[in-house]
A and B are shown apart, each in its own frame.
Chain A
């Protein structure tokens, strides 16, 4: 079990290294002098030259990369051009809404997707299955921002059930702030539940055709026990994988949803950074997001290994 962990960790490091490389070099591809871009139109030639020295922009690209990498590993993601503060600080300030949004969305997606997948697998081919599969297919193809706008119109504006946008007062109690997340989390959860539904259904179908299910039935067990304890007990393992995958996907999905609902999260930060060419923020956010994604995948692998007795024994 331990060397499974170490192997995954090294693979992870390789991937992160590649991501960092991609991020750095692609950013440098952007037209224009980075220092001039960073300082804006009003900068003087002297200022630009000074900044170039600070960032080592006169040095060969590889040296710059090395310097940048060194800073990243020290935890210094650079300074945001427009926000006048370290990128790390900007990210941390905005972490809360994104974190809770992602968390609730995963929960909602799993609460919708897993039962739907089980039901459509057990009653395969019947009306329930067709309806569930159709709904899953539909929800996977709805643009989340559009659904968000629809939800806002009906639940917030017309029926006043939830706040329209924003995250409320920073000083307000947590629960009040979280109320702002109900609509966005539902939208994200709905749209992302489709993958979980399809995957759970497929896993359940595979498992239900295995020999040991026949053995369980031959013991005279109630069908419910067979489905839940025996079939889903085995399906749990791949299902955990897909829930983890969804959690990772949500990091991306949150970006658009935060924009629609005006939530001051990381996603929103990235979008405005992109529009303003705030490169340090863009780079920092990308590294952080990739790291989160990769860590979630590692966590899922570890849970998988822990839950499956066949792997645990090794």
Chain B
């Protein structure tokens, strides 16, 4: 058995030991798959309005009830997952992209360290939602702008994590050796350092996914996120607010969907962090 096999076997063994993480991964997979296969999974067409069946509580027909236009809530949640999870995923991609590049530079090139980190500090001096709202005000409401705004908001976190890991790895002998051999900076960063900091980056990615889902919901709820016509979990709650007194399920279920998605992601992130960190192997 090669070293890689042994490592993977240990990883899988730890994964299965953690039933909670497994459960979280399962729940997330269900959400993602139903989002991707929404057309087949959803019992009803989410945009079909049946005014005669408006604001009906959960029943055999509409498992999660209907909203103010008679639309099936379960179907809307499933289709809403596409927007909510999709935005979250794109935010991860972009924030990771920008953040990793800046973090690598900050960690590896001394002269760039201070300016990049000061910029990151300045951005983190503003609360996430506030900065996001501000950016949305500048950019205008659209799903794409939400992705852009949130990517900018979360990029500094990535920069910090990547920079910290880069500093550690850069100090290792094999990097010095590579430099001595005349390997170009770009190659060192891409091949030697990046591969070695993959674990903390991956862990951070899952957390940012969770934050992004929550943030998008908050923004949409405030009306500063995606336009209200776009069905995301956040807009569903915003729209359902006024009917909450009589038909609470309109607000309850989209919220539960958000909680399930964010919670699963966080559990997975925590689990990954434990599993990938060799130092965390402690006695019971």
Chain A residues with CB under 8 Å of chain B are 14-16, 18-19, 22-23, 26-27, 29-31, 125, 137-138, 140-146, 149-150, 152-153, 157, 248-249, 251-253, 255-256, 259, 270-271, 274-275, 277, 282, 285-286, 289-290, 293-294
Contact = CB atoms under 8 A, between A and B. Distances in A.
Given A26-B138, A125-B284, A253 B123 contact: no
Contacts, number: 123
Among A145, A157, A253, A282, max chain B CB count under 10 A is at: A145
Given A274-B137, A293-B126, 11 more contacts: A18-B121, A19-B125, A26-B138, A141-B263, A149-B237, A149-B255, A150-B252, A150-B255, A256-B218, A259-B221, A274-B136
A248 B218 CA distance: 18
B183 interface: no
A27 B138 CA distance: 6
Interface string B192-230: 000000000000000000100010011001111000000
B258 A31 contact: no
A293 B210 contact: no
For this complex, into which size category does the number of interface residues on chain B fall? 35 or more
A285 B127 CA distance: 12
A92 B158 CA distance: 35
Contact of B133 (A18, A141, A145, A255): A255
Given A255-B129, A293-B127, A18 B119 contact: yes
Contact of A142 (B122, B128, B259): B259
Contacts of A290: 125-126
B127 A274 contact: no
B39 to A, nearest CB: 27
By secondary structure, the B interface counts as helix
Contacts of B123: 22
27 contacts: A19-B126, A22-B123, A23-B134, A29-B138, A30-B139, A125-B284, A137-B263, A137-B270, A141-B210, A142-B259, A143-B221, A143-B259, A145-B221, A146-B217, A146-B258, A150-B251, A153-B245, A249-B127, A251-B130, A252-B129, A252-B130, A255-B222, A275-B223, A282-B134, A282-B137, A289-B130, A293-B126
B222 A15 contact: no
B53 to A, nearest CB: 23
A248 B121 CA distance: 14
Contacts of A141: 210, 214, 259, 262-263, 266
B248 interface: yes
Interface string B49-82: 0000000000000000000000000000000000
B33 interface: no
B118 A259 contact: no
A127 B134 CA distance: 44
Contact of B245 (A140, A146, A157): A157
Contacts of B284: 125
B244 interface: yes
Nearest to B219: A256
A137 B251 contact: no
B140 interface: yes
A252 B128 contact: yes
A109 to B, nearest CB: 15
